[in-house]
Structure 1
Amino acid sequence: MAVNGERIAHSVVIASGGQRIAWECRSFDELAEAHFGLLAQLQVEVVIFGSGARIRFPRPAWLKPLMARRIGIETMDTAAACRTYNILAQEGRDVAAALLLEAAP
């Protein structure tokens, strides 16, 4: 994956306000509520969660921090999440993309 021409090989959170944060997870199995707690700290209205090469939904318990802050979340594969983030950011929406990039098996 590339952002502004820079190749990124690790999971990352990108927000429309310009933030880019390394997301410390290498696989879907490593995800926990704390990963989504980080997302809840962002000042966004919706998070686009890119779950890797295929769609995998986060456990409901992981979403508690987002729900407490009334932040919506949409889940899709990472490629679709990138496209959706770009559209929403271009519309001026306060959005973040949490993109899971897993190493190829």
Structure 2
Amino acid sequence: MRLNEIAYDDSVPIDGYGPGFFRIGGEKVEGPVMVSPAGVTTWGGFSDTETIIDQVADLDVVFVGTGAEIAHLPTDFRTICEAAGIGVEPMASPAACRTYNILLSEGRRVAVALIPV
């Protein structure tokens, strides 16, 4: 089996997560967070669509980690994001972290908004 080192270019990978925090680019970040090509920023949860709209430009998709379990996105949240031309994909936060890292390593244009487990 051939193993390759993953190169993330200028983007920041998610190194890990735990109760109430994420480890991103070697730094521990408490609470909800958004990671995009624009950088790492705190996120106010589903009522904070402005952060998502401000941080994303020309992206394929924004993964939304809904915590320990997958949950439906609030209708208002999804409607506002889609009206701004942003595709959002809900999944459990652990799955969102893994999916984000994989697509990021492939050079895809992705972002992730995460609620801690």
Shorter-chain TM-score tier? 0.7 to 0.9
Aligned residues: 94
Kindly report structure 1 stretches of 4+ aligned residues shifted beyond 6 Å: none
Mapped to 2, the partners of 1:18 and 1:64 lie a distance apart of 23
Which blocks of at least 5 consecutive residues in structure 2 are unaligned?
1-16, 18-22
Q: 1:66 aligns to what SS in structure 2?
A: helix
Could you state the TM-score of these two structures normalised by the residue count of structure 2?
A: 0.71
Q: Are residues 65 and 38 of structure 1, via their aligned partners in 2, closer, same or farther at CA, if it must alter by over 3 Å?
A: farther
Which blocks of at least 5 consecutive residues in structure 1 are unaligned?
26-30
Identity %: 33
CA offsets, 1:23-49, max 9 Å, x none?
A: 124xxxxx32xx123212211221000
User: Is 1:61 the counterpart of 2:76 in the alignment?
Assistant: yes
Q: What's the Cα RMSD here?
A: 1.6
* 2:24 alignment partner AA: V
- Counting only pairs closer than 5 Å after superposition, residues 1-105 of structure 1 correspond to structure 2 as 1=17, 2-15=23-36, 17-25=37-45, 31-32=46-47, 35-41=48-54, 42-43=56-57, 44-101=59-116
Q: Larger Rg: 1 or 2?
A: 2
After TM superposition, give the deviation of residue 20 of structure 1 in Å. 0.7
Instruction: Tell me: higher relative CO, structure 1 or 2? Use CA pairs within 8 A at least 6 residues apart.
Output: 1
CA contact (8 A) 1:36 1:63 kept: no
